């Protein structure tokens, strides 16, 4: 059973503040880079899905998992950890569900981080 992330914030700004030493400039730069990575990952996952390239889906999920943890986005990191594992086992339907979840979370993450940026 998955946790319902629709009812709470999914970004942990405190985690990001700790990583950046509370530097607004560094936080802005990291958020911008992360949001760009999300966009790129979303596009790549769709291409890799269509190609059935499970090895690259797993590699990309691993990379996104690590970035999500650093940025304090645990729900995305958890989903990417699951996608990484399932892609290694070629579970197509479950991978598709997790890719869809990634797209949904990505929208929320963008909204929340843009709100954080506005307050810096």
Taking the domains of the chain in order of start, what are their residue ranges? 44-120
State which H helix or E strand residue 50 sits in. helix 24-51
Contacts of 86 (CB under 8 A, 6+ apart): 94, 95, 98
Please give the DSSP secondary-structure letter assigned to residue 72.
Answer: T
pLDDT for the residue numbered 78? 96
Per-residue model confidence (pLDDT) at position 16? 87
- The Cβ of residue 50 has, within 10 Å, a number of other Cβ atoms equal to 8
48: confidence class by pLDDT, cuts 50, 70, 90: very high
- Whole-model pTM: value is 0.88
Describe the crossing of helices 13-20 and 24-51 by its angle, rounded to 10 degrees: 120
Mean pLDDT estimate for the chain: 91
Cα(1)–Cα(68) distance, integer angstroms: 21
């Amino acid at each position: 059973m998955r946790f319902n992330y629709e009812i709470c914030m999914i970004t942990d700004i405190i985690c990001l503040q700790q990583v950046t030493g509370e530097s607004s400039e560094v936080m802005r730069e990291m958020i911008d880079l992360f949001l760009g990575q999300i966009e790129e990952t979303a596009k790549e996952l769709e291409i890799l899905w269509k190609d059935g390239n499970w090895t690259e889906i797993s590699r990309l999920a691993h990379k996104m998992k690590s970035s999500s943890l650093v940025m304090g986005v645990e729900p995305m990191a958890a989903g990417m950890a699951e996608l990484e594992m399932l892609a290694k086992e070629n579970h197509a339907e479950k991978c598709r569900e997790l890719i869809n979840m990634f797209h949904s979370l990505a929208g929320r993450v963008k909204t929340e981080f843009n709100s954080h940026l506005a307050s810096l």
